Structure 1
């Protein structure tokens, strides 16, 4: 898997209110050529209109993203905004229903096999492992012509993507900054796949006005009070919300007394992946909120810059005295990043520090912090 990173700034069309720790949900745009190809493949009329009604039978309100004249919307617009035709993989039931509409016998047999218990592994290899899209599946079975009513029900819905906000409203009023990881990968059959939302955002021109459907969403990292010391652990794009935390604490420190921040960041290589390098180093100098002089600190683990891999949990153990002092001074712990092994490894490292330095029952200590709202984890896959 290949990853790049892009810093995206939004200037909302209207005043927007958010706090550090919040997330921005974005509804991505699909490639118009893919939407058109889906409509053509399914023999649909792109200029026809359909009426959208809520589950209770009422028409969609004028404030809805899908609103139109009396709830009417062009079919092409409906497909583009609601049906994930070019990135989402269909479920097994999609293949079962397709088999009923296949007119070519060999296609019907293959679809029935995919939908059977015996064909489950082969379906997984064909569909999920290859990240096969609805459009690609339909193109592989050209004799299948499903009614639009079935396509609406079975096509995966186009979902909003959530990104941690990387800016402080105190520093950037009426702006929102995001740290977007741009993902691409090769399937087992060497087909290139790309993340829908991140690739779309990366392709937007900063010199053009772009209208992006988005909503501020309350995150799982509550904004801390200026008087509370912070222990932040955010490898990779996990640093995104903590850029906002550090920005806000720095702005607060200019007008009132604030507690220090101890931040552990991690990435593969210093030369390629050191996100916001100048920003962190600036706040780690002199009397910055990350400076050792002010009781804080900034420590980085470069996992691939030496023969032996080094991760944030190793740096936490190396700086166990500082970590313990922060905990004893009432620090709140915030962890953000990948949902794989990192949260468990970081928690284990913190427990080891508590056991070694405090002789305490480590898991009980951290559970107390969690119950008090001072041990917060936000992860994503």
Structure 2
């Protein structure tokens, strides 16, 4: 929970005659008065505007009873959906739901408050936790006898709930372990490597040329202030920085999928600014550092008492380029230390270059810790640096948790930190629509190996938590290298497993009315057709029938013909194909004819580490097979295609 935002709550009412609606609206008004940010829903909005298993804010549920203990008509769709779930396989379906329940009934009827009680029982069976109540209000004796105490006690309970939530989060984030309690891999990071000699080639120490002055005035950054800071931090944003408003943030994958994939739909929140784009374009989203991580870092650096103060940086040597952007930010803007660390500097892995480790070593009072950081910064320890720090995406807070005697001055640390980069995402919407859209996989890092706390990816963790009507900032990516060919008559081979399908979805949506006239070949891959097949219905109903070829591969699913699992598999799935390159090999002859005889294009989007290399090698293999080329000739053929922009890649690490 951000320290600059009101804590968010969700209020849902299920009404038959309007009583629970009136009470819910009163709770909504009182929530605002008590410093909360509520969202109010009628339960008949279930499935359209909210899903119970996606609610992460505390829920206040006001539910009435109708007939002889039945749920209100507006709630029956929701309850029947929950009722159909198998409790044996869905015990954690509502694991993230924390709720307070106020039930309305009448003791003059046999089944008093049975409707709310049915919801309460089902919530519990599906893993939800009741943090307040349940309270059963009796219309026979007067609803206010129970309703008023419920409302009066609610705000203190919610305050305690958020305090506990924050305390638990902080405890998990900075649960510092002593060196002897860390796992074996962590010991490798913290303990001197005796096999390295004392003669090490280390980077030159970068002297501090900053001074810092804290002012007594405190400052909370407003929108105009942020935009000024962003314009300095991102000078490449020639097209401008856009304020966007979330329309919908939906989880696309099933709860038991290996990865959580989210789909964000948004609008540019401006009457004057328009973001023009075409299929294949990507946006750069400005994603701030996590509030709790920033708080704990400033505490570890012993500057948390000054975190809300405006500060000014000055350079003792203006000829030094390092950190001059930060000087300009503090000179031209009133920004406090907490917001500077939240919006301006990279405190994750990107800043932890070898010269940064050399810098940290200088401020260790423990000699063994100093020597170990010197080792890790050296040329001789390149393999250790790669395996222990870079590959494990160690953060600044991790290092400071491990090397406890390290206490760098805040002004020197700021000088050494890199600027916070925006995160790029391919648009999957048609440019003819005002509403824009992109998808992403949530990245998670467990507390293991060298990591001293659990965390989510900086960009994906931030985006996952955005809710309807929330705002975020973005830029159009400066270099758009994945635009589609103007010549629509030539074959276009599109390869995009996982979220790599995004730009192709945008292109297919753009060309939806003329797909029959195009020569399109789409290769897609996912783990399981039921768990994480993105845009499944749209692809199978709108795109696959109108493409020359659609082929899908499943890396974690084995199809048994006896099961007749899904009717599209026999038509669009090459048997035993786990990855897109398996399907490409199966269609080898046709693919090589398309690129060699018809001057077709190849577009690849997705993972740079494995997939893109494997696809390139697969096409080289197909060229060798079909045209009897040598490996060298096949590689040159594909490199010429890249040079002539007939083989394009939009890939990420």
Smaller-chain TM-score bracket = 0.7 to 0.9
User: Aligned residue for 1:132?
Assistant: 394
How many angstroms apart in 2 are the aligned matches of 1:316 and 1:138? 48
The 5-angstrom pairing of residues 360-375 of structure 1 reads: 362-363=634-635, 365-375=637-647
Please state whether the residue corresponding to 2:558 is helix, strand or coil. coil
Please say which of residues 346-355 and 336-345 is displaced more in the overlay.
346-355
Deviations 1:166-192 (A, max 9, x none): 22202x23x331120112244436864
Please state whether the residue corresponding to 2:259 is helix, strand or coil. strand
How many angstroms apart in 1 are the aligned matches of 2:335 and 2:557? 54
User: Aligned residue for 1:317?
Assistant: 585
8 Å Cα contact 2:280-2:503 kept in structure 1:
yes
How high is the TM-score relative to the length of structure 1? 0.80
How many angstroms apart in 1 are the aligned matches of 2:485 and 2:350? 37
1:4 pairs with one of 231, 245, 260: 260
- Report the number of matched residues: 363
Structure 1: 5+ residue stretches without partners: 291-295
Deviations 1:140-187 (A, max 9, x none): 4444332222111223432221112222202x23x3311201122444
1:300 pairs with one of 552, 565, 572: 552
Is 2:447 aligned against 1:177?
Answer: no
Larger gyration radius, structure 1 or structure 2: 2
Please report how far the alpha carbon of residue 111 of structure 1 lies from its aligned counterpart in structure 2 after TM superposition: 4.2
Distance 1:16 1:188, change over 3 A: same
Distance 1:52 1:233, change over 3 A: farther
Is 2:487 aligned against 1:218?
Answer: no
Structure 2: 5+ residue stretches without partners: 1-256, 560-575
Distance 1:201 1:83, change over 3 A: same
How many angstroms apart in 1 are the aligned matches of 2:406 and 2:640? 58
Cα RMSD of the aligned pairs, angstroms, is 3.5
User: Aligned residue for 2:449?
Assistant: 188
How many angstroms apart in 2 are the aligned matches of 1:146 and 1:131? 21
Please state whether the residue corresponding to 2:501 is helix, strand or coil. helix
How high is the TM-score relative to the length of structure 2? 0.49
Please report how far the alpha carbon of residue 6 of structure 1 lies from its aligned counterpart in structure 2 after TM superposition: 1.0
Is 2:632 aligned against 1:380?
Answer: no
How many angstroms apart in 2 are the aligned matches of 1:3 and 1:377? 23
Distance 1:136 1:316, change over 3 A: closer
8 Å Cα contact 1:35-1:80 kept in structure 2:
yes
How many angstroms apart in 1 are the aligned matches of 2:359 and 2:607? 36
Please state whether the residue corresponding to 1:263 is helix, strand or coil. strand
How many angstroms apart in 2 are the aligned matches of 1:309 and 1:261? 20
2:613 pairs with one of 335, 344, 360: 344
Distance 1:161 1:315, change over 3 A: same
Distance 1:56 1:298, change over 3 A: farther
Deviations 1:213-235 (A, max 9, x none): 43334332122223333111112
The 5-angstrom pairing of residues 51-130 of structure 1 reads: 70-86=332-348, 88=350, 90-104=352-366, 107-108=369-370, 110-112=372-374, 114-115=376-377, 127-128=389-390, 130=392
Please report how far the alpha carbon of residue 347 of structure 1 lies from its aligned counterpart in structure 2 after TM superposition: 2.9
Report 1 or 2 for greater relative contact order, CA contacts < 8 Å, sequence distance ≥ 6.
1
Distance 1:43 1:352, change over 3 A: closer
How many angstroms apart in 1 are the aligned matches of 2:454 and 2:266? 29
